[in-house]
Structure 1
Amino acid sequence: MTIKILSVDDESDMEMLITQRFRRQIRDKVFEFVFASNGTEALEKLEENQDVSLVLSDINMPEMDGLTFLSKLNDRKSPYLKAVMVSAFNDMDNIRTAMNRGAFDFVTKPINFDDLEITITKTVQHIEMLMHSQREHDQLVAIQNDLNIAQDIQQSMLPKRFPPFPHRADFDLHAFLKAAKVVGGDLFDYLLMDDNRLFFIIGDVSDKGVPASLFMAITKAIFKSHFSSKSCGSICEEVGRVNDFLSTDNQSMMFVTAFIGILDLTTGVVEYIDAGHEPPLILRQNNQVEVLKKVGGLALGIDSDFPYTSGTFRLEPGDTLFTYTDGVIDANNRLGERFGLQRVKDILLAETSAARPKQINDTLLHHIQTFIGEAAQFDDITVLTLHYAG
């Protein structure tokens, strides 16, 4: 990059001396010089050369002196335009005034051109550092804007209306995702497959941030496509197909733990597949909390041929199913303590069987955030709570 320098001096031989001294840099297009004989002419040159980065200006000049010119220069408010002032060695009062008015550096007359070259080089390096910092700042702003858009897109993919099916009195459902970063890798979803079957899923991608959010979006979209289709097969068949898709050409080696269920709304029976996920809890109507004894399975996206098998359990009218990702129990406070499963059980036990899913989730999130305090949230926190009324 060529640095353009404006030299302002009323001495007639200054242009020749500078051109001779910096002939190599001028030839190699490292420096380009523009010359003016006083402050008034210098302002005109600046209007004609908007890309000037460095001004080398004498202080004592006719028509407009260097100090007045420096004040005019400051009015331009250009962060990359730096001034090096030139004056007699015994003119320290003016040099001090110039520095107070924002000059970057100074050299004294008679000019030592070795010193001048060092000063110009130092000033140019500072200008380049400022430009580099601004470019990095602009890149960070662009990245942040992209992340904000990605966050909006990801959040728009998650269901937001609660209760989701207000016309149904036989069940209630609430879920939330609190990402550790701007975007996260957790997911949840649900849909009515028909009048009597409710599909639901909660999952956790192995990574965090943008890569995990992309994998999360793909996983959620595929599950919704498969389980909303009129030609949907059994839960084992459809999970197998999703797993095959996620495993094929999975060069990122990411995977998804998930708990996938279909609730029969007429009987309360839940057929489910456990893909290496955290064990759900069941708050029974008698105010007992059970940890579901799962049928174990492999996380999605690892082995395309893995034979998933389903298990079943029954929700009685008044029971509530609580599913979560490991960000809930692994939440840490500043002392390094885990929130843990027991705290979750205690919170559920403190609720009555009449507590609605949103109330349970709000209470849990409040307890987690209080527990974490000022510590950083290092993992996504996601919960899906399902109440079966029968």
Structure 2
Amino acid sequence: MNSPYRILVVDDEPDLEPLILQRMRRKIRSSEYEFVFAQNGLEALEKLNADPTIDMVLSDINMPKMDGLTLLQQLPGVDPNLRAVIISAYGDMDNIRTAMNRGAFDFVTKPIDFDDLKITISRTLEHLAEWREALSSRDQLVALQNELSIASQLQQSILPKTPPVNDKYEVSANMEPARNIGGDFYDYFTLDNQVALVVADVSDKGIPASMFMMSSRTALKGAAIGVRTPEMVVGEVNNQLHQDNPTFMFVTLIYALFNPDTGLFTYSTAGHDPPLLVSGEGTVTELPLTKGVALGVAPDIAYSQHTVTLAPGDTIVLFTDGVTEAMNASKEQFGMQRLIEVFNGRPPSSASAATEAVFEYVREFTGDAPQSDDITCLTLRRP
């Protein structure tokens, strides 16, 4: 029987310990989780140094003696493979953003939504398990393909699995990696009253591309927390990636914010294909590109953004070039026009139906031809 995951909760609120033990009792009884508690960062470090079996740290930011941000800086010296999730007051975006930039894997806000906390813990520990598997298998690998397989599992583990549930919008996404691991990723998360969406494609393939993809994902989520404009977020991520990029890799990306109350969809592209807008009547429009090159190429690039208003029934389709450049046995590419024809006169009934349609048409077109690149699609629909 596997040992339970041990989670260190660091918070100076006395009511949190009995609340976590009560709300997590099923996980505790089933021996999936064990919880250890500390009142501040100093006490947490003592327990971490004394107990190397702790897998994950769930820490508040504001605490006496040593706060959560300082604790985050100390964790790599204790165990570089620890995963940390930060807790902060709702709206404390500056501190949350700093925490993400200091290595926090994810965050939750107070008052704690325990359903969201359970999902966050599960996702964090899933990634930790995949990472440990990669580390334990690395020395035993006898072929590059095995390494690529592990990297692919890591890549898949950080992709969100559960779309936000909201009667004002629907989100659906999928990524099918190529045989040789690439660097595609997608993400979606809520920021106050908006939902953030991202689809990205890292240059090159293999383990370095997968690692650069993870760095890009962390940098973007950290920059996005300030709920600023997409063009500002993309510009900051570009500068962060360029500062520490010895391999001279780059990533193309589209980052967007959708306001479900107004229907405003604002996006910024960085060397990436533009989104498609499918109206409720089945009219397909290729939205304009915005100013800006791929991220990581050069510092201080000026990026721009574009805004459209989604009417009820409208769908936005975001994708990587693995869709449009998918090739059949005759080396013919799927192309933008075929992607447009997927929806021309056939508006999707849901976001998931839109995503499934893209993959279905691409598979039908390519047939038995080998897949040469990751294929990623994310769709947003306003019901």
Taking structure 1 as the reference length, what is the TM-score of the superposition? 0.60
Asked if 1:378 is matched to 2:375, the reply is no
Report SS of the residue matched to 1:244. Answer: helix
CA contact (8 A) 1:181 1:209 kept: no
Q: By how many angstroms is 1:142 displaced?
A: 6.0
Q: Which runs of 5+ in 2 are unaligned?
A: 1-138
Report SS of the residue matched to 1:301. Answer: coil
Distance 1:352 1:284 in 2: 7
User: Match for residue 164 of structure 2?
Assistant: 165
Change (3 A) 1:208 1:286: same
User: Match for residue 366 of structure 1?
Assistant: 360
Asked if 1:200 is matched to 2:197, the reply is yes
Could you list the per-position Cα deviations for residues 210-265 of structure 1 after superposition, in whole angstroms to 9, with x for gaps in the alignment? 221111111011112222x3x44433332222111101142211111111111111
Asked if 1:149 is matched to 2:150, the reply is yes
Could you list the per-position Cα deviations for residues 33-74 of structure 1 after superposition, in whole angstroms to 9, with x for gaps in the alignment? xxxxxxxxxxxxxxxxxxxxxxxxxxxxxxxxxxxxxxxxxx
Distance 1:142 1:378 in 2: 20
Could you list the per-position Cα deviations for residues 338-377 of structure 1 after superposition, in whole angstroms to 9, with x for gaps in the alignment? 1111111111125335x11211221221221121122111
Q: Which runs of 5+ in 1 are unaligned?
A: 1-137
Q: By how many angstroms is 1:145 displaced?
A: 4.2
Q: Give the counterpart of 1:224 among 221, 224, 236.
A: 221
Q: Give the counterpart of 1:279 among 249, 274, 280.
A: 274
Q: By how many angstroms is 1:171 displaced?
A: 0.3
Report 1:286-297 matches (<5 A).
Answer: 286-297=281-292
One-letter code aligned to 2:159: L
Q: Give the counterpart of 2:350 among 340, 356, 373.
A: 356
User: Match for residue 214 of structure 1?
Assistant: 211
Q: By how many angstroms is 1:323 displaced?
A: 0.9
Change (3 A) 1:257 1:387: same
Q: Give the counterpart of 2:263 among 252, 259, 268.
A: 268
Q: By how many angstroms is 1:206 displaced?
A: 1.4
Q: By how many angstroms is 1:182 displaced?
A: 4.8
One-letter code aligned to 1:319: D
Q: How many residues align?
A: 245
One-letter code aligned to 2:172: H
CA contact (8 A) 2:180 2:205 kept: no
Q: What root-mean-square deviation, in Å, do the aligned CA atoms of Structure 1 and Structure 2 show?
A: 1.8
CA contact (8 A) 2:279 2:347 kept: no
One-letter code aligned to 2:322: G
Distance 2:232 2:335 in 1: 34
CA contact (8 A) 1:159 1:189 kept: yes
One-letter code aligned to 2:164: F
One-letter code aligned to 2:353: Q
One-letter code aligned to 1:148: S
CA contact (8 A) 2:173 2:352 kept: yes
Report 1:293-372 matches (<5 A).
Answer: 293-349=288-344, 351-353=346-348, 355-372=349-366
* Higher CA-based Rg: 1
Report 1:40-119 matches (<5 A).
Answer: none
Q: By how many angstroms is 1:143 displaced?
A: 4.4
Report SS of the residue matched to 1:337. Answer: coil
User: Match for residue 173 of structure 2?
Assistant: 175
User: Match for residue 258 of structure 1?
Assistant: 253
One-letter code aligned to 1:364: V
Taking structure 2 as the reference length, what is the TM-score of the superposition? 0.61
Report SS of the residue matched to 1:204. Answer: strand
